[in-house]
Chain A
Amino acid sequence: MNTLSAKSLFSGKAVKYLSVGYITVRNNFVYLRSFFIRSWFLLVILFIFVQLWRVTYQGEGNEVIEGYTYEQMIWYLIFAEAIILSSPRLPVKIEEEVKKGDVGYQLTRPMSYLLYHYFSYLGEAYVRLIVNIILGSALGLVLFGWPRLGLGLFGFLIVSIGSFTVNYLMTMMLSLTSFWVEETRGLVFVYQKMLFIIGGLMLPLEIFPGYLQAISEWLPFQTVAYFAAKAGVHFEWMMIAKMLLIQLLWIAILSFLLRVVYQKGVRKLNVNGG
């Protein structure tokens, strides 16, 4: 089985999957306008947070809260929201494929199902990310002028690859439970809320009480929005290296688990549409 293994990723077959990514990017450019429209939601959320944080910073009377200035806090939220809102809606797609039995037909091609979806996920995610970053940055520029983030955008983009990968692995795993349960949305809903809270979408993890921070550090959720957003506002080579390492670790663990779930699931394939 050629699933998510380093061997197939870096062999000549890489071209195959890069083409999958490339065609998804092209396909998603068609949706560019609707992405822009949908992304206005990002501005609405951000607008609310801007108000909340302004009051908070004024009330505290401090320039810096847990290491973030007001400006950095807003940029943190812009980056974090951009990652979450750019993540494709995989569960709907997979649930449909499993229920209709399309998974089977995909298997008649010399291609790994999981890698195919991974690259197609990345393709879509980055088209959306461009849109979200453009809109978010426009807001940042209006509020604070030219951002003082140093290499932040670079850090954000580097870490975002790991963020999307972890998010893909987790979401795919949850989506594949549709082999066993009729409805996966509940699980996905809980997972997304975990990303929102202990994944650091609403607040940087530094703001949490000590014990919650300690728990979050041992969970994969922080590697999605929190890592990328923090890399965007606090660029530091050492920190980025550490983040990438932790992401890699989670990617290794999660790909292994995903492979187990997938292989068990495919054996159940027969029932649907046999």
Chain B
Amino acid sequence: MSDLVQTTPVSSAVQRPRPKLVKMVSFGLGEKPTVAISVATGLAVAALWWLVAELDLVPNLFLPRPGEVLTQVGMLYYDGYAGASLSEHIFASLFRIVLAASIAIAAGIPLGLLMGLNRWAKGILDTPIEFYWPLPPLSYLPLMIIWLGIGETSKITLLVLAMFAPVCLSAQAGVRSLPIERVNAARSLGARPLELFIDIVLPSALPEILTGVRIAVGIGWGTLVAAELIASTRGIGFMIMSAAQFLATDVVFVGIGIIAICAFAFSAAIRFIEAVLVPWKGKL
């Protein structure tokens, strides 16, 4: 018997070659990193832009050179645009987005949770929300102007309406995905309805809510340019639309770049919040 249990000592002094590391064959993307490819693609697009503009393949009016756009950033920074400095334009847009997002989140989360929990709330609120939310914001923009005038109110309202639906719907989805064991466990530990809501339902729905907020902010940036069509004198969206009328393509490029940077920063911020608030997402 004893010869059967003989094994090679693990710590042998013999220098063994480094073992070949293997992994289960994955399907689809798996864990392969994509950042380098994305960065390379970005650089390639920039190089293509530079090449096309430099060789005058497209009239300069349609496609300004990268250098011109950079110069324009400096000029806009020092001189402003249409009577307001660049930072005032950026601030005006950020103010609208942040205010509208706050209102949409403050209303969308409780209403969405309520719709996920209560038959009456679901029945009543479903009608207006399901009716309006598939509409493109531009289609009801004229109504906003007629009803609310051309001031900040109509712009903020348009943005709130666009951002409310995804937050509200995701909060509902969050309640629906709540496992019944979790509710039953809390009940058998003596949770009262309010505690059930605050300690179980709300945190359970948080991952979905945060996904909804991220989608909402994306839609918000998309709607911003439309909102700033309404008799604005400030805002990045206004700057883009106004510059387009004067065929100042380089200013349009700068505006698009600023929106892209802002939107990316917002998205990154929400991802950071997700990482802090719901590190357990998808793990249990």
User: Real complex partners, A and B?
Assistant: no
